[in-house]
Amino acid sequence: MQEFIAINEQRAEFYWWMSSLFATELTQDDLNNYHGADMDNYFSVLAMTGELSTPVAGLREALAKLKTRQDAQLELAADFCGLFLSTPKTGALPYASIYIGESGLLNDKPAQEMGKWMESYGIAQRKDFNEPFDHLAVVLDFMGNLVILANKEEDEEKQEAVMQEQQRFLETMVMPWIEQFQSTLNQFDQFGFYKAAGNLLVSFIKLDLAFLKGE
């Protein structure tokens, strides 16, 4: 049971970290943290999983490159705006509706579906984050909360039911579009920090899905 709880805490931590990374521009404090010993240790732990070692190395490489980038925080903030606050023609918009909606516009069916998931679990969006429900940051934050819900169940059958819901959520709300998003990131992120982060995210999600399926 303790191991089950610890694994879920680590999984939720990853989803919440990625949620914050794609939610808003990184501050100078954030960057200092990324270059610090705690994150370095965290990357080392992630890299111990074979499937994550290459994407972790890619993110470390982008961070090393960032150290030599002039006005790194300002430039990275500009990258964030250019990628995530622009148009589908010039950036990688972080909304499911853009990739799998029927209209190609925001707040399409995926946002409505996401709203239903949030409502059914009583998990609200952060009040300070005023974005459509199918924004990647909202989706990942929700997944982190869904992971932790399993830890609150003492009955094994109920735990298993929540784990199955996590699998269903990833299969229906994340996998149908996350690789298209990553492909667009690869196309438009010239510096490569967010591309590397997206690559690690997709690798982790695939691994997590295999874990949930018991593979």
Distance CA 154, CA 23 (A): 33
pLDDT digit string (tens) for the chain, length 215 residues: 899 999 999 999 999 999 999 999 999 999 999 999 999 999 999 999 999 999 999 999 999 999 999 999 999 999 999 999 999 999 999 999 999 999 888 999 999 999 999 999 999 888 889 999 999 999 999 999 999 999 999 999 999 999 999 999 999 999 999 999 999 999 999 999 999 999 999 999 999 999 999 99
DSSP state, residue 172: I
Has this prediction a pTM greater than 0.85? Answer: yes
Max intra-chain CA distance, the chain: 54
Q: Is 166 exposed, middle or buried (0-12, 13-18, 19+ CB in 10 A)?
A: buried
How far is the C-alpha of 193 from the C-alpha of 77, rounded, in Å? 11
Domains and their CATH numbers in the chain:
2-212 (1.10.3480.10)
The residues facing 25 across adjacent strands are none
**Cα–Cα distance for residue pair 53/203, rounded to 1 Å:** 10
